[in-house]
Amino acid sequence: MKKITLVVFLLTFGLQAQDFPNPYCDIDPDGTGVEEITSVTFNETNITNDDIISILIDKTSNAINLNQGETYTIEVQGNTYGEFDNDIVAFIDWNHNELLDDTNEIYEIGTLTNSTGEDGVAISMEITVPEDALTGQTRIRITKTYTDEESPAIINPCAIEFDAFGQGNFPGFGQALDFSLNIETLSTERFDTNALSVYPIPAKDILNVKYKSSINSIKIFSLLGQEVFAKNIETDEYQLNISSFNSGVYIVKLYTADGSHSLKIIKE
């Protein structure tokens, strides 16, 4: 009886272990060199990874809440193992059809260069949730793939591969990471961009922000996704002193009762 119980347990465990990444495609590890994704931050939620063995990482127990029609920053860090380029791509199953490469579900975040994955170097992008995205839980996959001029990375959610010297697709170097998104219904109250005034842009010392109703808080991020300013203000008009900021482009995120809104500014 104990043997039968043990067999049933092992069969059940085996079936559970095979669940991931179903119902989505797996990635064949044969011939692929693992170069890890170390961190993904989406909607200010950070997911870290220290697995340097697996080609596809299961972080699906992490579910990040997003709202239809809202815009969020995604940031990815990873180890390029020297002065090399890695293409970072996000695939999001907005329509829940269990495919990751439909039209409007592929986001080429950018190229990560010469990073240890622990040095703060990151690549980021603003992603807007489609207003018709199906609600409920869905899958997002991030791929990180070695690339160069002669052997460009292939955009494929089901493989880490590159076109080696124009001779066709071959297993490459990189990693993929899956996690979950929980898409929530579009609120009837939405941020009114027509009622927002932000000036001057470019700004040198003072950035003026004005909205039709109270702004609860302001956060500012560098293009690497690093938070450089955060303050609760509870006012509809605010003068932000950015004189100490380095010159460059920043992302300002405003939080109101109508929702949140992100915009880019330039600091002279």
Per residue in 210-222, pLDDT (tens digit) is 999 999 999 998 8
Q: Residue 268 corresponds to which tokens in the numbers above?
A: 């002279």
- Are both 92 and 35 inside the same structural domain? yes
CA distance 194 to 211: 9
16, pLDDT greater than 80: no
* Residue 141 lies inside a defined structural domain of this protein: yes
Boundary-marking domain end, from 160, 184, 208: 184
Is residue 224 scored above 80 in pLDDT?
A: no
Peptide linkage before 171 cis (omega within 30 of 0) = no
- Does pLDDT of 209 surpass 80? yes
112: in domain: yes
- 3-class DSSP state for residue 230? strand
Check whether 257 has a pLDDT greater than 70: yes
Mean pLDDT across the stretch 113-142?
Answer: 94
| Per-residue pLDDT at 196 exceeds 90 | yes
Bridge pairing between strands 227-241 and 197-199: unpaired
How many distinct structural domains can be found in the chain? Answer: 2
In this structure, the answer to whether residues 53 and 172 fall within a common structural domain is yes
The 10 Å Cβ neighbour count of residue 55 is 20
Q: What is the pLDDT of residue 226?
A: 79
84 found inside a domain = yes
Q: Are residues 197 and 81 in the same domain?
A: no
Q: Are 50 and 39 in contact (CB under 8 A)?
A: no
Residue 199 has pLDDT above 60, yes or no: yes
Is residue 205 in some structural domain?
Answer: yes
Q: In this predicted structure, what is the pLDDT of residue 3?
A: 35
